Amino acid sequence: MKKVLLHICCGPCALYPVKVMREKSIEPLGFFYNPNIHPFKEFERRVEALEMVSNKTDLSLIWDSRGYGLKEWLDALKGESNHGARCLICYHMRLEQTARKAKKLGIKTISTTLLYSRYQLHEAIKDSGERCAKKYGLNFYYEDFRKGWMEGIEISKELEIYRQPYCGCIFSEYERYEKVSKRLNKRLFEASEIKGGELS
């Protein structure tokens, strides 16, 4: 059976790709390396969700030894906070580490569950995955897993896996709640200017 080191961004995103790979007689070994996920409690929750996926689907996993990586991720970003540019850095650092790990383990092919998300920059992930694989003399398993978006959601509901409300980094959390935070900011501003500091 062919083996693939599958970078896993989170538990729910792994469900559909793992199912598809198994249907093709490929057994993925899951690799969790995501220093982009903040804050710590959210990171911990996603680790627990992936452990649950692993238990419920018999998926073998390996974890990156560095664990929670806020500083590492911010260092890699070098101050880039704009969506798009920062995501390219974020994809690349995770996929390069996946390629490094695969090389060390003697696994010839890598892939990523990032290819499942409708909200990611799909072509950029494919390009980054191919470049990282090539750099380490590996293959990149590409498939447009987005076609199974709804199926993956249904499976995660059946298995009662935690589904996170934002991509992972603190900037994506800000963007997720931007409208709500603008409304709150407006209220705070009005209260401070008009009512002497009292919230309505």
Q: Does 169 bind ligand SF4 (CB under 6 A)?
A: yes
Q: In angstroms, how far is CA 36 from the centroid of its own chain?
A: 8
- 3-state SS, residue 3: strand
- Residue 11 and residue 8: Cα distance in Å, rounded? 7
The angle at the Cα of 65, spanning 52 to 132, to the nearest 5 degrees, equals 95
**167 is an interface residue for ligand SF4 by CB under 6 A:** yes
Tell which one of 4, 90, 155, 161 touches ligand SF4 (CB under 6 A): 90
CB of 187 to ligand SF4, least distance (A): 27
Q: Which of 36, 54, 112, 113 binds ligand SF4 (CB under 6 A)?
A: 36
The residue type at 117: S
Write the DSSP string, 109-165: EEEEGGGG-SSS-HHHHHHHHHHHHHHTT-EE----GGGGHHHHHHHHHHTT----S
Residue number with CB closer to ligand SF4 (107 or 132): 132
Q: Which is nearer to ligand SF4, 28 or 35 (CB)?
A: 35
The residues with which 3 forms a beta bridge, in sequence order, are: 27
How far apart are CB 97 and ligand SF4 at their closest, in Å? 14
Number of residues interacting with ligand SF4: please give it, by CB under 6 A.
Answer: 9
d(CA 90, CA 149) in angstroms, rounded, equals: 22
Nearer to ligand SF4, 34 or 107 (CB): 34
Q: Which of 98, 128, 156, 172 lies at the binding interface for ligand SF4 (CB under 6 A)?
A: 172
Stretch that binds ligand SF4, among 61-69, 105-113, 168-176, 183-191 (CB under 6 A): 168-176
Binding site for ligand SF4 (CB under 6 A): 36, 86-87, 90, 167-169, 171-172
